[in-house]
Structure 1
Amino acid sequence: MMTINTKLPVGRPREFDLDEAVRRAMQIFWDRGFHDASLPDLLAGMQLSKGSFYKAFGDKKSVFLRALEFYTDDGVRNVQEVLRSAPSPKAAIRNALVRYADLSSGKKGVRGCFGVLTAAEMLPGDPDIAEVIKRLFSRLQALFAATIAKGQAAGEIANRSDPEVIAHFIVSHAQGMRVLGKVGSRRDEMLKDADLLMEMLF
């Protein structure tokens, strides 16, 4: 865990957790977006002085990129864990779709996916952020493709299409669920969609 030492006006050293500060910033950006998150908002939420903020991060976009990286890394790690949650690749994929239904309904659904919200706000105009979002979807696709290939090799998944193509379809559906969640789609509706998707693909 990284720490940064800064100095208070009286000259006493102050230590803060850099990662924790970025995660606090992530919550602010998630709720308000990049453009509407003001510096005072960030300083208050991160519990930093202006001097400490600029010394540690340089500028607002640098904090945003770090926050987005944290979010995408967490998201990929969570999907990986779910895809390893069952010995059956087919069951693991359904577990992942159920998780997306949970994230896409209720209060979590209305809040939305930080990655999707960022893409809607910042792309295609910002190549740095575009690279992070592109990498997120590529990593998710790779995880699903590996699980599908494992199922095909075991004879559990009869669909012999390219695992990358199937995985791309699943990721596209999952991200669509996150968008529908913003308008209050119900969990039971999304679970029915997930079951239909499983029937169509496998």
Structure 2
Amino acid sequence: MARPREFDEGNVLDAAIQCFWKKGFEATSMRDLIDCMGITGASLYNAFGDKRALYRKALAHYLKSSFGERVVRLESTLAPRQAIEMFFVEIIERSMNDIQRRGCMMVNSALEAAPHDPDAQAIVDDFLTRAEHFFLRCVEAGQRDGTISCAQPAPDLSCLLLGVLLGIRVLARAKPQRALLESVLRPALALLDGGAHQGNFAPIYPLIVESQR
């Protein structure tokens, strides 16, 4: 009869995420993971397998607990146009507070591990698809209620927003300047508005940003 695990899987996966996120897949050793997760080597191998298997499990957990939670919360509490903007507000704030310049774990994984690991690539692809579909749902709903311009097709706008998301996350690692990140976002939001705000953020944005500075 198998013994019950003496640790909470979610907690140790959170710890593994922090370890991989800080050092990257290749530079993270099993000793690093054991120390960070606070479990024995035998427990790690029995529960998760080797380092690559643990990495995939950590990626999937990150996708569900971080990105998944944010999307559900924003779509359930805000109007479509506001949900898009608030999504980026939170991303920029997260980037500015990232003192170690770790960037986005999913974007990092897309560049480092995914090209050499089909299973990791599948998780990254799932993230990109979910992000694009989130933007698509919001744009389509906003076009229906009149808060987002219909001048551009919804699928094109959703792909543009996905590109803006990835661009902001990469730039934040190399040059984490608020003005730069906001300048990347500003034209995309203006395009959603059809130029109605003449390139300025809608009122929700400066109010939230100023309150957090």
Please tell me the TM-score bracket, short chain as reference.
0.7 to 0.9
Amino acid at match of 1:92: A
Name 1:38's counterpart in structure 2.
29
**Which is worse superposed, 90-99 or 63-72?**
90-99
Name the CA shift for 1:83/1:109 in 2 (closer, same or farther; >3 Å): farther
- Structure 1 residue 195 corresponds to structure 2 residue 171: no
Q: Which residue of 1 aligns with 2:175?
A: 184
Q: Secondary structure at the match of 1:104?
A: helix
Provide the C-alpha distance between the structure 1 equivalents of 2:186 and 2:161, rounded to a whole number of angstroms.
12
What is aligned with 1:148?
Answer: 139
Matching of residues 80-91 of structure 1 within 5 Å = 80-87=72-79, 89-91=80-82
- Secondary structure in structure 1 of the residue aligned to 2:63: helix
Shift of 1:99: 1.6
1:181 counterpart letter in structure 2: A
Pairing 1:110–2:101 present: yes
Partner letter of residue 72 of structure 2? Q
Q: Name the stretch that deviates more: 182-191 or 55-64.
A: 182-191
Taking only the aligned residue pairs, the percentage that are identical comes to: 27
Tell me if 1:135 matches 2:126: yes
1:79 aligns to 2:71 (yes or no): yes
- Which 5+ residue runs of structure 2 have no aligned equivalent? 194-213
Greater fraction strand: 1
Instruction: Give the aligned length.
Output: 190
Question: Shift in Å at residue 184 of structure 1?
Answer: 2.7
Aligned twin of 1:29: 20
CA drift at 1:84? 3.9
1:22 is displaced (CA, Å) by 1.3
Aligned to 2:196: none
Alpha-carbon distance in structure 1 between the residues aligned to 2:62 and 2:181? 23
Residue of structure 1 aligned with 2:61, choices 59, 70, 87: 70
Cα distance in 1 for residues equivalent to 2:116 and 2:54: 18
Residue 5 (structure 1) aligns with:
4
In the alignment, structure 1 segments of 5+ residues that lack a partner are 7-14
Contact 2:164-2:184 at 8 Å conserved across structures: no
Amino acid at match of 1:81: R
Is it true that 1:170 corresponds to 2:169 in the alignment? Answer: no
1:109 shift after superposition: 7.5
Contact 1:112 / 1:181 at 8 angstroms: preserved in 2? yes
Q: Whole-Å Cα distance in 1 between the matches of residues 134 and 117 of structure 2?
A: 26
> Is the 1:105–1:184 contact (alpha carbons within 8 Å) kept by the matching residues of 2?
no
TM-score by length of 1: 0.86
Q: 1:81 to 1:108 in 2, by over 3 A?
A: farther
Q: TM-score, normalised by structure 2?
A: 0.82
| Structure 1 counterpart of 2:110, from 114, 119, 129 | 119
